[in-house]
Amino acid sequence: MNSNTFNSKMIALALVVATATGIALFPTLQKAQATDTSHVVPQQSHRIEVVFILDTTSSMSGLIQAAKEKIWSIATTMASAQENPDIRMGLVAFRDRGDAYITRVFDLSDDLDSMYASLMDFRAQGGGDGPESVNQALYDAIHKISWSNDSNVYKVAFLVGDAPPHMDYTNDVKYPVTLATAASKGIVVNAIQSGQHEYTRPAWQQIAALGNGEYFQVEDSGNTVAVSTPFDEQLSRLAAQLEDTRLYFGDEKTRAAQRAKLDANARLRKELSTEALARRDTFNATASGKANLLGESELVDAISSGRVELDDIEEDNLPASLQAKAPEEQMAVITEQAKRRDQLRQEIKKLSESRSNFIKDKVEAEGGAEDSLDEKIYRAVKNQAAAIGLTYSSESASY
């Protein structure tokens, strides 16, 4: 046998073995795919990671309440980029030594409902001696948050407070050192001063300069735009119906995560104002809000998108309401839910546009909102996110 013949036979044998191995592994790969335990996020090339570093001492009560009301509008503003970025949000709450806590850290997540439920628990308490543990808060925000290493991600932090940092503590890392680390990681740090204390301004301005960010000042209330519209209640009702189209599947660990999300969802529905719910529901209707709306292992989206085949899901991992049904009945339910979801999304989109136009007209009639927290954050995001290719064409923030 010559060498050419031998080589040809070996190549043919290798192809047969590779094909047979692939066929043998295919059911296993299908079953692995059917678990779908990853978060359902839009397939996007851009992402925003944003962390709010929030002073939660007594003097911050007005701005904390404003943050609770406006986080969803801020998320919608960030989502308004033409590239429909995936948005992950985190929180570092801080006070000072001797208070109930120095910092509390909530890592980045696309589950904004759960993060917001944590924000709702914060009450303005403690402080009172002037400077706060700003150094520790900045350090934890840069070092204890799971920031991406991807240079194409817009990574931004907003420090929000009314008092300067303690620079007399001997055993903490001072903010210039931390901000140098932030710069090396591509994290922009903006500084938002609440109130007009002169002794706070120099430190806040230097933090913004060292953080390659922007400094701006707002009143204790946040100067936020809070407008009720005739569309809020109907928008909330439709959004609740949209949430009812969700069907979840997976093993017990996955179901535990789903239950936690649904509990947070129910709490928001119960405790948020109609206006705040309208802001949340507007965000959820965007492409960027899909992950927050659906959460982990949502069946209708998984089947409709083709990521998972219904036959490959074990019966015990199906929603309880579908387990006793025949396969064709299961698929009929999923198809109907998908159809209903699309209809509701279209209705919510139209209502959201009407709501946005109503607010825009009212704000313009009242002289604009250039000094609001909403607009100042939008201008910072618009300018800074351009560096990674995010394009914001709107003239104003989302309210």
| Strongest mean pLDDT among 225-229, 274-278, 302-306, 364-368 | 302-306
- Pick the range with the lowest mean pLDDT from 96-105, 113-122, 226-235: 113-122
Looking at the fold, whether 376 and 305 belong to one and the same domain comes out as: no
**Is 7's pLDDT higher than 80?**
no
The three-state secondary structure class of 388 is helix
Do both 148 and 175 map to the same domain? Answer: yes
pTM value? Answer: 0.84
Residue (of 113, 47, 49) closest to 84 by Cα position:
47
pLDDT in tens, 332-347: 999 999 999 999 999 9
Mean pLDDT of 61-78: 86
Contact 233, 274 (CB under 8 A): yes
Tokens 């948050």 locate to 145
Is 395 a domain residue?
Answer: no
324 in a structural domain: yes
33 pLDDT band (50/70/90 cuts)?
Answer: very low
Residues 144 and 177 in one domain: yes
- 128-137, 180-189, 199-208: least confidently modelled range: 128-137
How confident is the model at residue 17, as a pLDDT? 34
Helix (H/G/I), strand (E/B), else coil: 353: helix
- 70, 136: one domain: yes
197 shares a domain with 117 = yes
Number of domains into which the chain is organized: 2
pLDDT at 15: 36
Residues 72 and 138 in one domain: yes
My answer on whether 187 and 313 are in the same domain is: no
More confident residue, 24 or 226: 226
Q: For residue 126, what pLDDT is reported?
A: 67
Picking from 146, 138, 140, the residue whose alpha carbon sits closest to that of residue 211 is 138
Asked whether residue 316 is domain-assigned, the answer is: yes
Mean pLDDT throughout 300-328? 94
Question: Average of pLDDT values for 154-176?
Answer: 95
**192 in a structural domain:** yes
63 and 209 assigned to the same domain: yes
Predicted confidence (pLDDT) at residue 168 exceeds the cutoff of 60? yes
Please state, in angstroms and as integers, the Cα–Cα distance from residue 391 to each residue in 157, 185, 289, 313, following that order: 19, 22, 18, 40
Give the model's pLDDT for residue 13.
36
Domain limits at 119? 47-224+369-388
Over residues 357-376, the mean pLDDT reads: 90
Of 176, 173, 167, 161, the C-alpha closest to 209 is: 176
What does the pLDDT look like over 36-56, one tens digit per residue?
444 444 444 699 999 999 999
CATH number of the domain that 75 lies in? 3.40.50.410
Residues 381 and 346 in one domain: no
309 and 376 housed in the same domain: no
Find tokens 């085949």 and name the residue. 309
Name the average pLDDT for the chain. Answer: 86
Distance CA 18, CA 7 (A): 16
Q: How far apart are CA 282 and CA 351, in angstroms?
A: 9
Domain match, 277 and 214 both: no
pLDDT for 130: 78
Tell me the pLDDT tens digit for each residue of 256-310.
Answer: 888 888 888 898 888 888 998 999 999 998 999 999 999 989 999 999 999 999 9
Residue 285, in any domain of the structure: yes
pLDDT of residue 28: 39
Residue 156: CB partners within 8 Å, gap ≥ 6?
Answer: 48, 49, 50, 51, 187, 188, 189, 190, 213, 380, 381, 384
Residue 319 placed within a domain: yes
In a domain, 23, yes or no: no
In a domain, 11, yes or no: no
Q: What is the pLDDT of residue 68?
A: 79
Same domain flag for 102 and 170? yes
Contact 57, 64 (CB under 8 A): no
